Every structure is written in C-alpha cells, then in structure tokens.
Amino acid sequence: MSSIATEVSRRRTFAIISHPDAGKTTLTEKLLLYAGAIQIAGSVKARKASRHATSDWMEIEKQRGISVASSVMQMEYRDCVVNLLDTPGHADFSEDTYRVLTAVDAALMVIDAAKGVEAQTLRLLEVCRARNTPIITFMNKMDREVRPPLELMDEIESILKLTATPFTWPIGMGKLFGGVADLRSNQMRVFKAGEDRRQDDVEIIEGLDNPLLKERFEDSYDQARSEMDLIRDASPEYDAPEFLSGRQTPVFFGSAVNNFGVREVLDALIDLAPPPGPKPAIQRVVEPTEPKFTGVVFKIQANMDPAHRDRIAFVRVASGRFEREMKLVVTRTGKAVRASSAVSFLSQRRDLLDEAFAGDILGIPNRGLLQLGDTITEGEDLQFTGLPFFAPELFHEVEVKDPLRFKQLRTGLQQLGEEGAIQVFRMALGGPLLLGAAGALQFEVVAHRLAHEYKAEARMQPSKYRMARWITSDLPGEVDRFIDANGHRVAYDVVEAPAVLLERPYDLKVLGDLWPNIKLHTLREHA
Ligand code: G4P
C-alpha cells in the first residue's frame, strides 16, 4: 500500500474553462483518449449533442442523467491520477460552475484563437483569480484563419490581466498551419490534420533554426521567426511561483479537433500544475497528507429517475485515505454517512471505488443527508470554508396551485434549495416563499421538477425584489436589531442565514448609511 503522501503527489484535479464553442468538449474527448478512457469520451459527445437545445428545459432534464456520469472524469496518465471536473456550459447555471471551480487545483483555459478572449472566459477566470487558481492556456483552432498570435497574447494580458508565457508558438495558420515550435525543447512539431491520430504519430524537426523549416514553411516560418524573436524579448520566462499563484499562464497553441497540441497541455498539467494543497476550515488548516479522512460537498445533483428521490453529493477529498468500511459523519448534523455506498467516476458505469485521496471526487448517493458546503470527517468537528453562494438577481414568489400539496411543495423547495438548483427564501414575517436565481431558466427547471418529482404544481410570479444581501455584524445583537426594524424585507435562506431584500440599488446605499455596523454580503460562504 503506497503512502498517502505519494498518492497525493500524483493527483491532478482540474476543470476546463471556456466560452461556449471554443472547443471544451472536443478537447475533453481527446484528453480522455490519451488516458484510454474511450468509453467516457463517447458520453461527452452525447452530452454535448443534447446540449445544443439549451433553452429547452426538457433537454436539461434529459441531460441530468448523462451529466452525472460525465461530470467527473478520472483517468490515469503517465504516473498520475487526473481528475477532470466538468463545468455546466449554460450561463444560467454559472453558480454551479463557480462551485465546481472551488474543487479544482488548476484550470485549463481554452480560447478560440479566431475569437480571442470572450465574455464567459473572463467571468470564469475571475472566479479562478479569486482563489489564485493556476491557469494553463490552450489556443485552439489554429487550423482556421485566426487572429494574429501576438494579438492573442496581448489580450490575455490586457483583458484577463495575466502574464502570458508561450511554451509553443504557431507557424502559419488556417490552410497554411504548419505546426508549432516548442520553445523549450527547440523543436518543431509538424501539423497533420486528422481526428484520430494518436500521440506517437508526430513528425519532429530538430532545431528552430533548421534550414528545413524555411524550405517547407516559407513565409509562415519567416513570420513566426520574427514573432518568436519579439516574444522572447517581450514576455517573461516561465516562473513557477507566478504560475502557481495564478498570475502567469503558460500558453500552448494547437487544434483540438485534429488532436494536435493536446498532449502537450496534458503533459503541462502533470508537470506544472500543483497536486492538492492545504484547505482552510474554520477551526484550522487541513493538510492533504493528514492520515484522517476529510472532505467537502461542492455539488449536489439529483438523480435521473424522478421516482427515486435520491441524489448524489459530490465530495472532494481534502485529506486522508478514503476506504469503504470507514465510519464517517456530516459535521453539521453529526449524522453518519455510509461510506460503503460511495461511487467513483473512473468509468461511465460509476464503478464502486476502493480508495480515494486528496483531490479525488467521491459520489455519495443520499436522500437529503448531505447539503452543499457540508464537511465530512471521521469525527473531528470541522467546517471547510470557501464554497460560495451568490446573491441572486432574479426573484419569483412561489405558491402551490393545490393547497393540499403545500407540504410537497415545501419539501421539494427545501431539497432543490439544498441542491443549489435555486435559492429559497422564507420571509421573516411570513407570506409566499421567494425563489432567487441567477438566470431565468432556473425557475423553469424548478417548476418542472416540482411538478414531476414532487407532484406539486407551482404558481410563480415575478417579485418586486431585485437584490438580496446576506447580513452579518461584528456588534453583538445588531443583526437582531436590524431584523426587528426591517422585518418586512428580511428573509431566511435554506440554512437560515438572514438576508435583506431590496427593490433598488439605491436602497443599498440608504441601508449602508443607516446601519453602519451591519455588513451586507453578495456572497455567502459555507453552510
Ligand atoms: P464547446 O464544448 O466549448 O462548446 O465546443 P466544442 O468542443 O463542441 O467545439 C465547438 C465547435 O468547434 C465544434 O464544431 C468543433 O468541432 C469545433 N472545433 C473544436 N476544435 C476545433 C479545432 O481545433 N479546429 C476547428 N476547425 N474546429 C474545432 P461544430 O460544427 O459546432 O460541431 P461538430 O458538428 O463538429 O461536432
């Protein structure tokens, strides 16, 4: 049995961040092929196929089944265990995406080189930046007419505010795409189109000054040569601490669909990206190599079959060695978790797993025992921090159509709220429940699931509220005084955290002036 330290050091856990259509699905598939996980590769494609109709909630419903299987992909590559966490693509589910990003140690940023940095990439990058997540960049679609590479590098710096350090440099583009120069090994890798090439099938030309290059690639080579000279002067050397703190990004060029340049990013993930590190909890900082198991729930997903109301809690292991026969507890409630039922994501079949270490993801089926942000330990009283809930921007009042189904509606909303599908607020002075969302589609999904899974038809209508802010104070009794004075617009979320609801941005300023000792938060961390 290998030591925990050895196992931790060979873990790499990452997610791909990109704007829709940049090539995330294609790249994911190719990455999986390198690890021989062909079976899952198929399901990634299937999922993407159904994603095309994203505005249709029925489609989203269908996808939930596929996405449980493909939302965490574990593979072995070289000597490492690589966990790739999928992030939902649709902008309406971005909150879920943000939470998934709290469970990774690095991110692979895919940019469509014809388009450059796009809106969704920027938003996701900001989440990574807030946690200093190291980012590796893949400039995709070099087989097309793309933007000048120097301009792309410039965009990474000016829009994303990252220092960009090229590891490879493209020679030509589109029809004239000749391949990439590897600036570190001083070799040129020649491009060959074709979907199903494997890693060993690559022509290499030694030496970037080799006259052969000029002969074969002519003007493209001259152009690339002068760009490389420029970039050598202008961009800094790779600096590991800068990369690891999320300030510098190594850049690779390639074409995912042609499986070109993909292996280099996978190698970079192994060679440059960090293994799991320490994780802060309220009580102390937890080291990944500690002997006792700890983990945190970062995502909850309902099961496909509406008849079975169980759901899967995705737990990122933070420390120790997970074993089947373990006795584990949810620290929030002290209740026991059945470790024996945990599943891993090594294949589409959700194989049962035997061991897991920091960085790995467990799926624990349960019926409401686990909530987002829950910490699981062998008994230690611990609460990990850092799982964000964002203040919703859209609000609907919800009532049940048939009053006899009120209890089902309550249960449904409680569970969907715990799952993170929607935020549910109970007004301090009573009245209809309030739903808060980041995107309008969430309301449709919730209405649909309430009707089908809980047999409670809901009636929803837009509320007058436009903003919510969670409230805290360092001054004892101040929150209670605030709630007494503002009861009509105070509400409690699923974990009973109080929030104030506002109709206009201006009200926020007024509140701030009136209540200097009350802190108003757009983000709530941990349960
Ligand atoms: P996403 O998950 O980020 O949304 O992107 P996805 O991989 O689905 O890729 C979006 C489109 O870009 C796909 O074309 C895909 O084939 C294409 N693509 C990905 N990588 C490359 C590349 O290196 N070069 C070129 N030229 N195209 C690339 P599609 O027409 O939307 O889908 P499909 O019919 O090809 O599946």
26 lines ligand 1 (CB under 6 A): yes
22 lines ligand 1 (CB under 6 A): yes
Gap from CA of 51 to ligand 1 centroid (Å): 13
89 in a known ligand binding site: yes
The DSSP code for 405 is G
Ligand 1 atom, smallest distance to 20 CA: 4
CA nearest to 192, candidates 204, 207, 183, 209: 204
Strands (E), 113-258: 135-140, 163-166, 168-171, 179-182, 187-190, 203-206, 248-253
Cα 456 to Cα 451: distance, rounded to the nearest angstrom: 5
Q: For residue 391, give every residue at least 6 positions away whose Cβ sits within 8 Å of its Cβ, in sequence order, or none.
A: 436, 467, 468, 469, 470, 499, 521, 522, 523, 524
141 in a known ligand binding site: yes
Assign residue 132 a region: left if phi > 0, alpha if psi is -120 to 50, beta otherwise? left
467 in a known ligand binding site: no
Vertex 153 angle, CA 242 and 126, to 5°: 55
If you take atom 25 of ligand 1, which residue's CA is the nearest one? 141
CA nearest to 310, candidates 299, 320, 322, 302: 302
If you take atom 7 of ligand 1, which residue's CA is the nearest one? 23
141 lines ligand 1 (CB under 6 A): yes
Best substitution site from 21, 87, 175 to test ligand 1's pocket, by max atoms within 8 Å of Cβ? Answer: 21
CA nearest to 392, candidates 521, 296, 527, 526: 521
19 lines ligand 1 (CB under 6 A): no
Best substitution site from 257, 258, 260, 264 to test ligand 1's pocket, by max atoms within 8 Å of Cβ? Answer: 257
Q: What is the pLDDT along the chain (527 residues), one digit of tens a residue?
A: 579 999 999 999 999 999 989 999 899 888 888 876 655 555 666 656 555 434 444 555 555 554 555 678 888 889 899 999 988 766 555 677 888 999 999 999 999 999 999 988 888 888 898 889 999 999 999 999 999 999 999 999 999 999 999 999 999 999 999 999 999 999 999 998 876 655 567 899 999 999 999 999 999 999 999 999 999 888 899 999 999 999 999 999 999 999 999 999 999 999 999 999 999 998 999 999 999 999 999 998 876 565 666 788 999 999 999 998 899 999 999 999 988 888 766 544 445 467 899 999 998 988 888 988 899 999 999 999 877 777 888 999 999 989 899 999 999 998 888 888 889 999 999 988 999 998 787 888 889 889 988 899 999 999 999 999 999 999 999 999 999 999 999 999 988 899 999 999 999 999 999 999 999 988 787 54
Best substitution site from 16, 19, 26 to test ligand 1's pocket, by max atoms within 8 Å of Cβ? Answer: 26
